[in-house]
């Protein structure tokens, strides 16, 4: 397209290249240039967010995004197959660490799809169906782990601490969400009416975006929405910072734990009602 003077207009790439013609000295200057590009409509909000997420990811370690050991859903190889199958259906994950005596004894990884043979009534050898488990240290950087996931085509790794004990697990989705934000799949909340769900253990899984009024109606609470519109915002206000996965807060007679979060937002909360005495003590 030509300008009024008859000269051709520079392309999007040419304008962006001109903006970056002066090489930034550090990350702060680079981010400033990117934000300037966004303000000039050279980048849209999604592209800017993805670039910022990619830059932040290089500063994060596996321990920052892993599912803690206490929250790991595992199968026990000595359990009856009927019990294992029911557990896989109820938790609805695609992969499960298979353990022996305890969570430190990880034998392998079971893919939920491999249970199709069992459901079809065919001969099924659980140990024979397990995939090798990959172990990574808590200190591994996320950009390095993502590269290893891509090369090995693994989607899950077991995280170990400095003593060799299992500290948690991390999936490729956990890593990618640091770049692109929350990745919803067929097992995530996907309906408005599913924002608050009771799981098999008697805990309530709640979308952090649930409005405070809706939360009050569901739990018979009277939290104010003057300072926060959503229950996630209420948790952030109470803690005074953006929490990481596993952090919790007591509000009234409810213990609210962060179940899923990334470096930019909370996604899912785990809510339990606690005895009045414990709530009064703030424990």
pLDDT tens digit string along 90-135? 777 889 999 998 999 999 999 988 898 888 888 888 888 999 999 9
Architecture of the CATH domain 196-273: 2-Layer Sandwich (3.30)
pLDDT tens profile 246-264: 788 999 899 998 877 765 6
pLDDT at res. 40:
74
Q: 43: which 2 tokens?
A: 């980048």
| pLDDT at residue 133, as a whole number | 93
Q: What is the DSSP letter of 144?
A: H
Domain with CATH 3.30.465.10 in the chain: 196-273
Q: Tell me phi and psi for residue 157, to 5 degrees.
A: -135, 145
DSSP 153: T
Q: How far apart are CA 188 and CA 191, in angstroms?
A: 9
Which pLDDT value is given to residue 109? Answer: 94
Give the pLDDT score at 93.
83
Of the CA atoms within 13 Å of residue 226, those in its CB half-sphere come to 3
The reported pLDDT for the residue numbered 262 is 65
| Structure confidence at residue 122 (pLDDT) | 82
pLDDT at site 246:
75
The confidence score (pLDDT) of residue 278 equals 46
Residues of the chain with pLDDT under 70: 1-27, 43, 45-46, 181-194, 200-201, 262-264, 276-283
Task: Please name the fold of domain 63-180.
Answer: CBS-domain (3.10.580)
The beta strand positions in the chain, using DSSP E, are: 67-68, 75-76, 95-99, 106-111, 135-137, 156-160, 166-171, 196-198, 204-207, 248-251, 254-261, 266-273
Question: Which residue ranges does the chain devote to CATH 3.10.580.10?
Answer: 63-180
């Amino acid at each position: 397209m030509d300008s009024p003077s008859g000269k051709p207009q520079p392309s999007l790439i040419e304008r962006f290249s001109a903006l970056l013609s002066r090489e930034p000295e550090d990350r702060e200057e680079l981010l400033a240039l990117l934000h300037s590009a966004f303000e000039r409509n050279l980048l849209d909000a999604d592209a800017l967010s993805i670039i910022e997420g990619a830059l932040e990811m290089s500063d994060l370690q596996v321990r920052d995004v892993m599912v803690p050991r206490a929250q790991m859903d595992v199968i026990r190889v000595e359990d009856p197959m009927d019990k294992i199958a029911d557990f896989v259906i109820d938790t609805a994950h695609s992969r499960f660490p298979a353990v022996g005596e305890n969570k430190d004894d990880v034998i392998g990884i079971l893919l939920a799809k491999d249970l199709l043979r069992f459901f079809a009534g065919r001969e099924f050898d659980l140990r024979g169906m397990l995939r090798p488990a990959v172990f990574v240290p808590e200190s591994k950087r996320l950009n390095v782990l993502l590269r290893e996931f891509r090369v090995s085509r693994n989607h899950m790794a077991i995280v170990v601490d400095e003593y060799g004990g299992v500290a948690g697990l991390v999936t490729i989705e956990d890593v990618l969400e640091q770049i692109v934000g929350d990745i919803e799949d067929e097992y995530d909340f996907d309906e408005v009416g599913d924002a608050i769900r009771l799981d098999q253990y008697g805990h309530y899984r709640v979308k952090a975006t649930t409005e405070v009024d809706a939360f009050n109606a569901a739990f018979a609470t009277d939290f104010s929405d003057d300072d926060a519109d959503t229950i996630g915002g209420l948790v952030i206000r109470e803690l005074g910072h953006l929490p990481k996965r596993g952090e919790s807060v007591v509000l009234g007679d409810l213990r609210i734990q962060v179940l899923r979060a990334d470096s930019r937002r909370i996604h899912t909360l785990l809510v339990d009602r606690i005895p009045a005495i414990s709530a009064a003590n703030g424990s």
